[in-house]
Amino acid sequence: MSGLVMPKADAATMSRRKEIVAALQAIVPGEGVVDVTNEMRAFESDALTAYRQLPLVVVLPQTVRQVSQILKYCHDNNVKVVPRGSGTSLSGGALPLEDAVLLVMSRFNRILEIDYPNRVAVVQPGVTNLGITKAVEHEGFYYAPDPSSQIACSIGGNVAENSGGVHCLKYGLTANNVLGLEMVLISGEVVRLGGKHLDSEGYDLLGLMTGSEGLLGVVTEVTVRILQKPATARALMVGFPSSETAGQCVADIIAAGIIPGGMEMMDRPAIHAAEDFVHAGYPLDVEALLIIELDGPAVEVNHLIDMVEKIAGRNGASSCIISQSEEERMTFWAGRKAAFPAVGRISPDYLCMDGTIPRKELPQVLAGMRALSEKYGLRVANVFHAGDGNLHPLILYDANIPDELRKAEDFGADILRLCVKVGGVLTGEHGVGVEKRELMPEMFNEIDLNQQIRVKCAFDDKHLLNPGKVFPQLHRCAELGRMHVHRGQLPFPDIPRF
């Protein structure tokens, strides 16, 4: 993917740059338009830093009316638009295009309403994920989805990516915790989906929008569910002699009817990297480590801790420590939460992959990864949301060694192919973006992809919103609309019908 090809810049648009900048300045006066190269540098990549591109111009609107006017202008003048939240995407979802306006939503940073009796918060899309929890925690509430970038990532970006986190087996993804959106279509029309009430009167457009990676519309307001914090939480830290035994322990916990608040697995390289970094007290003589968190009323948590401890014992756990205090529980998590920077310490660069597999396939996938690691001559460490099968292999490489980025990317692509082969998917929570765009045909055939693009056509028939992301090729809508109907005979005439 180092040879990433983005849609060819449109010369006509480039030649109209001055005119476009002036039009945007008329819509967003003051400092809301950034067109100086040095100042635009801050926006040239997201958290997939291997790719950089200066946008045509950056615009930071402050009102829904401005967003509507910007999009309408771009629609009427055939100018592409790349929406951006906080820029924490790991898949290049907010990578600018040379001939596209970068629409940055960070000034939409106000919490509009907190409604405890209806248990919702209404916020602007630039509010950070953690910012929502911070605003309601004095009343004992929180917002459940907790992607690891929650301190920085915006709720608008969470909607675009359908972000998850360690707690989503029990509490769901963004899609399950968002009740309503206000969004602007590329035509400039403002529509509202859902609200403080549940479900849709018609098609589930909210479901289609969530995880659509900025290709269908620009979110200007989000209504989320807030929940009361669980009364208590305790964690077990359990070491296993193999990933198979750890995997069986996870299966047995679920078979016992227990859905833990969080259940994370790390493999040997990840355990060692994390322990060297934060000294969380992780056992170093194990092949797999599970951190299992139970939350809820104290009696329930204690009851379940006993059950899980017994299940771990039956599966040959070589060590099992149960948190006795909030401080100890946080220490267990410290290593896991620092796994990415910990790996960053032992390698100049790393790629973070994001596949999901059926849990039972874990031993096979880990073995396959070891073989690939030898083939490519690159190390890999694994952290794994064990409850839901979301795997984050971290591929270690050195960008200063010629060709090593390409090797790391090929290694990553092979891992994702393996995930698909065992019944899994290309991306669990990071999105397709530009990173996994070319791999989409591994999972979908042409008919599957064309039907997805037809959804895009219903929202944005000129393909102006975030082109070059998600789909390897965007067929023109008119082309996709054609029907080939042959006059047929009545099918399966041998069955009775009356």
Work out which of 29, 313, 341, 423 binds other proteins, going by CB under 8 A: 423
By CB under 8 A, which span of 62-70, 201-209, 260-268, 326-334 interacts with other proteins?
A: 201-209
By CB under 8 A, which span of 76-84, 94-102, 151-159, 427-435 interacts with other proteins?
A: 427-435
Name which of 131 and 211 has its Cβ closer to other proteins.
211
Nearest distance in Å: CB 15, other proteins: 32
Q: Which residue in the block uniquely carries the two structure tokens 């771990």? A: 312
CB 453 within 8 A of CB 475: yes
Contact between 472 and other proteins by CB under 8 A: the answer reads no
Binding mask 29-68 for other proteins (x = CB under 8 A): ----------------------------------------
Nearest distance in Å: CB 203, other proteins: 5
Helix, strand, coil % (nearest 5) of the chain? Answer: 40, 20, 40
Distance CA 79, CA 16 (A): 10
Interactions with other proteins, residue window 429-458 (CB under 8 A): 429-432, 436, 440, 443-444, 447-452, 454-458
Contact between 112 and other proteins by CB under 8 A: the answer reads no
Contact between 204 and other proteins by CB under 8 A: the answer reads yes
Name which of 256 and 401 has its Cβ closer to other proteins.
256
Q: Which residue in the block uniquely carries the two structure tokens 């929406």? A: 83
By CB under 8 A, which span of 42-50, 260-268, 396-404, 480-488 interacts with other proteins?
A: 480-488
Distance CA 451, CA 435 (A): 21
Distance CA 312, CA 321 (A): 11
Residues 6+ apart with CB under 8 A from 396: 343, 346, 347, 349, 350, 378, 379, 380, 381
Distance (Å) of CA 410 to CA 44, 72, 250, 433, 469 = 24, 40, 31, 17, 19
Interactions with other proteins, residue window 120-149 (CB under 8 A): 140-141
Q: Taking the CB of residue 120, how many other CB atoms lie within 10 A of it?
A: 20
User: Kind and range of the H or E element at 240?
Assistant: strand 232-240
Nearest distance in Å: CB 350, other proteins: 21
Binding mask 168-187 for other proteins (x = CB under 8 A): xx--xx-xx--------x--
Interactions with other proteins, residue window 277-336 (CB under 8 A): 296-300, 303-304
CB 423 within 8 A of CB 414: no
CB 191 within 8 A of CB 182: yes
Binding mask 249-288 for other proteins (x = CB under 8 A): --x--xx-xxx-----------------------------
Specify which residues 431 forms β-bridges with: none
Q: Taking the CB of residue 393, how many other CB atoms lie within 10 A of it?
A: 27
Interactions with other proteins, residue window 210-249 (CB under 8 A): 210-212, 228-231
Q: What are phi and psi of 294, to 5 degrees?
A: -110, 135
Work out which of 96, 126, 389, 468 binds other proteins, going by CB under 8 A: 389
